[in-house]
Structure 1
Amino acid sequence: MDKVDVIVIGAGASGLMCAATAGYRGKRVLVLDHANKAGKKILMSGGGRCNFTNMDAAPKHFLSDNAYFCISALKRYSPQDFVDLVDRHGLDYIEKTPGQLFCEHSAKDLLSILLTELEWSGAQLKLSTDIKHIEFHDDYTQLTTSQGTFQCTSLVVATGGLSIPTMGATGFGYEIAKQIGHDVLATRASLVPITIQPERKAQLSTLSGMACDTEVSSNGVSFKEPMLFTHRGVSGPAILQITNFWQPGEALAVNITPNLTVNDLSKIRQDTPKKSYESVLSNLLPKRLVELVKEEHSWLSERSAQISNEQIEQLNHYLSHFDIKPNGTEGYRTAEVTLGGVNTNEISSKTFESQKQKGVYFIGEVLDVTGWLGGYNFQWAWASGYCAGQYVV
């Protein structure tokens, strides 16, 4: 039987960060993962270039049943702290939109840094290792695995959520939490494309692959970002963001001309009476989308001077309340994150140790902490992993 100080279950972002942090403190650390490769979600995120942090990351960008839980960790390990780490390794990165940092070349460069840190810290990594049984004792935990039996003083659960099962995601972390008496809050797929009802999907089928600027709103929250039409429904930053707040069956408002008001439409008629609303919309929307609008408003190609106030109001309502008839989401298959998870009211926000079982820690996505789209979830992984790594014994 092998005995170590710390076992980390999960070789993802939070697990690798925690293991290296603990290793540098002189702890004997072993990372176990059932996958055949470490950091699979890191490699596929951001189109293979990984949006690894957001310089604006703050508690307001995270959802949790306990809104205060993430404050401590985000203060103790900031985006700049992670940037300092990758700078020491010479990572080339770019800022695509304000605050969002991506690898300039490939996410492989970032994973290589994390694995190098793991090696330098002295931590060990065992892949393709299935955990068959866990026994919890007062002063140690014993794991029976496909690679043998291991004992540790501190067990860190960094198993992630249910999103993207093809990358190896499972509910194993939730099972461990329940085994020691934790409450696991209801989970659902988030930062995920929305599907639409069959009849409307057929009507919008010609728009597949097209994007437009939108303002999407639900439950009092709005995001002004691009929306992408797909062969299943809609996606893009605005849609992914809103799924943190919207659930199937609830109202979803989509404005496909967020910078155009009813007053703007009236002013067009006043200032350029010979101009058609079709030509105006053609400068704002993809051609095929304008054609769809024209199917509902046949007068669109006429001179604006001929258009009535009622017609203008109808057009404004159509554009600002564009009906996509949402049906549901694509689910965990394509979701970037899992909402819900281990109840943070039962976890120390300082050490990430369980209040139910001494020596057991939960970090990363397995917890009920979910960030917005844009590098926030990776920052949570780094912060929670670092903080737990400072306290494991």
Structure 2
Amino acid sequence: MYAKLINQSHFDAIIIGGGACGLMCAVQAGFLGKRTLILEKNDKVGAKILISGGGRCNYTNLYASAQQFISENEHFVKSAFAQWTVDDTISFFETYGIAGKEKTLGQLFPTSDKARDVVKVFTELCHDLEQQMQLSADVKQVEQTDSGFKVTFENEGQTIELKTPKVVIAAGGLPIQKMGATDFGLRVARQFGLKIINTAPALVPLTITGKDQPWYEQLSGNSIFCRVWNDRASFDENILFTHWGLSGPAILQISSYWRPGEFIFIDLLPDKDIAELIQQERQLNGKRMLLNFLTQFYTRKFAEALSSRLPVDKNLASLSKADLEAIQELIHNFKVKPAGDKGYDKAEVMRGGVSTDELYSKTLEAKKVPGLYFGGECVDVTGWLGGYNFQWAWASGFVIAQNI
């Protein structure tokens, strides 16, 4: 509570946002003997950490590098990742009792499978290092003063003003509103004249409407390992059919590279050649129906759904050259034009944000506003699905802590 805040003027920095970036920043600052205050809008810190990975928290990725991040400046994250590596993340959590286990594609989860264990590390360290937290703090304004900044926030009907030499904006992005997400970080950036890269939901399910929607609806719940791509990126992971369109890891990944009005393409049988497989089966059993042949690779429900697009009622021997070409095209080059996405409340992260041109890559301080720092999701740095965004949050929190 606010009553516990003492000697207000002696905070080295006020950190706005008690998520992954803000918590790491406070802890790392504490290790350096600096005193910080976290202002968190929710009634607990780490709200998005707690729901990440279905409550299990995929807290980093073994393969994280600049290559898995989307930004107007693809090199921007390299400095932060050189200062705080994946090994640093692993070592940090191991030091405080969290061993990691790899699931798929380098994704690291706590062996306990409990996201709350990750949050507990930070809350206990903040307590031990005497870093303060003010929960239910709705920050209204950040203003420059002769000696730094004045931060105004509301708490339980009170309006409180605090002065500080440094301010860290770690307020996250626009997903997920029910978790307290706001555009606060972007508003502060605009207030100080910083450029914003257009924002949009990322790592988000895609919707299908119109005449194709019933076809997707009938397949709701079917999951298939695929290759999904456009002219910007390609991912080999599962897709999930839903009553409103497409989801699953591969779709979430490609959504970050998709723009409204564009197509995406799906190889429903990656690393195999369906026409070649049909020719081989023909020689063994030409009387086999195409429908039964396809059930080797897909659920019967999915194979039957292809009846509206393929001659599944024909046997393999009777398939014409045109039939084979149609099968080849559909299976290996399935074309989808999403109507849109499910928006910020279903998105894992926000794409875009405070332009990296406005920040020093080595410190994450705003070039135009000395003492003002931006980290985590509100910056134009968006990682792939699978722990990459947490690695950016930890790294940016660490970097800022060294410089406040």
TM-score (norm 2): 0.93
The worse-fitting range, judged by mean Cα deviation, of 92-101 and 360-369 is: 92-101
Counterparts of 1:360 and 1:388, CA distance in 2:
10
Q: Which residue among 273, 296, 299 is the counterpart of 2:286?
A: 273
Deviation at 1:297, TM superposition (A): 2.6
Q: Which residue among 336, 339, 356 is the counterpart of 2:368?
A: 356
What does residue 125 of structure 1 align with? 133
Structure 1 segment 301-312 matched on structure 2, within 5 A: 301-312=313-324
SS of equivalent residue, structure 1 residue 83: helix
Deviation at 1:129, TM superposition (A): 0.7
Structure 1: which amino acid aligns with 2:33?
Answer: G
2:20 equivalent to 1:13: yes
Q: Which residue among 336, 360, 366 is the counterpart of 2:378?
A: 366
Counterparts of 1:144 and 1:228, CA distance in 2:
45
SS of equivalent residue, structure 2 residue 21: helix
What does residue 64 of structure 1 align with? 71
1:92-145 superposed Cα distances (whole Å, 9 cap, x missing partner): 442111310112331011111121222222210101011222221243111122
Counterparts of 1:325 and 1:292, CA distance in 2:
19
2:8 equivalent to 1:2: yes
2:107 equivalent to 1:73: no
Structure 2: which amino acid aligns with 1:268?
Answer: E
Counterparts of 1:183 and 1:325, CA distance in 2:
31
Counterparts of 2:164 and 2:242, CA distance in 1:
48
What does residue 263 of structure 1 align with? 276
What does residue 190 of structure 1 align with? 202
Q: Which residue among 206, 209, 214 is the counterpart of 2:218?
A: 206
SS of equivalent residue, structure 1 residue 26: coil
Counterparts of 1:354 and 1:255, CA distance in 2:
44
1:20-71 superposed Cα distances (whole Å, 9 cap, x missing partner): 1112211111000111111110001101101100010010011111111100
Is the contact between residue 142 and residue 150 of structure 2 (CA under 8 Å) also seen in structure 1?
A: yes
Structure 1: which amino acid aligns with 2:309?
Answer: E
SS of equivalent residue, structure 1 residue 377: helix
Structure 1: which amino acid aligns with 2:49?
Answer: I
Deviation at 1:277, TM superposition (A): 2.6
With over 3 angstroms needed to count, the CA separation of the structure-2 counterparts of 1:69 and 1:138, relative to structure 1, is farther
Structure 1 segment 209-288 matched on structure 2, within 5 A: 209-261=221-273, 262-288=275-301
1:258-314 superposed Cα distances (whole Å, 9 cap, x missing partner): 23323333333234424333222112112111001123334x244312222221111
Counterparts of 2:47 and 2:389, CA distance in 1:
15
Structure 1: which amino acid aligns with 2:50?
Answer: L
2:303 equivalent to 1:297: no
What does residue 105 of structure 2 align with? 98
What does residue 189 of structure 2 align with? 177
Structure 2: which amino acid aligns with 1:124?
Answer: Q
1:198-232 superposed Cα distances (whole Å, 9 cap, x missing partner): 32111221211110111111124211110001121
Q: Which residue among 39, 43, 54 is the counterpart of 1:47?
A: 54
With over 3 angstroms needed to count, the CA separation of the structure-2 counterparts of 1:142 and 1:311, relative to structure 1, is same
Q: Which residue among 22, 25, 42 is the counterpart of 2:32?
A: 25
Deviation at 1:9, TM superposition (A): 0.1
Counterparts of 2:45 and 2:382, CA distance in 1:
22
1:63-100 superposed Cα distances (whole Å, 9 cap, x missing partner): 11111110011111111111111111222442111310
Return 5+ residue gaps in structure 1 as ranges: none
Counterparts of 2:145 and 2:368, CA distance in 1:
12
TM-score (norm 1): 0.96
2:351 equivalent to 1:344: no
SS of equivalent residue, structure 2 residue 18: coil
1:331-356 superposed Cα distances (whole Å, 9 cap, x missing partner): 10110011100011110111111101
SS of equivalent residue, structure 1 residue 65: coil
Q: Which residue among 132, 151, 176 is the counterpart of 1:143?
A: 151
Counterparts of 2:144 and 2:320, CA distance in 1:
74
SS of equivalent residue, structure 1 residue 110: helix
Counterparts of 2:48 and 2:259, CA distance in 1:
25
Is the contact between residue 263 and residue 337 of structure 2 (CA under 8 Å) also seen in structure 1?
A: no
2:344 equivalent to 1:332: yes
Q: Which residue among 118, 122, 127 is the counterpart of 1:114?
A: 122
Counterparts of 1:255 and 1:248, CA distance in 2:
21
What does residue 153 of structure 1 align with? 165
Structure 1 segment 83-94 matched on structure 2, within 5 A: 83-94=90-101
Deviation at 1:251, TM superposition (A): 1.8
Counterparts of 1:138 and 1:322, CA distance in 2:
60
Return 5+ residue gaps in structure 2 as ranges: 1-6
SS of equivalent residue, structure 1 residue 352: coil
SS of equivalent residue, structure 2 residue 143: strand
Counterparts of 1:51 and 1:304, CA distance in 2:
45
SS of equivalent residue, structure 1 residue 146: strand
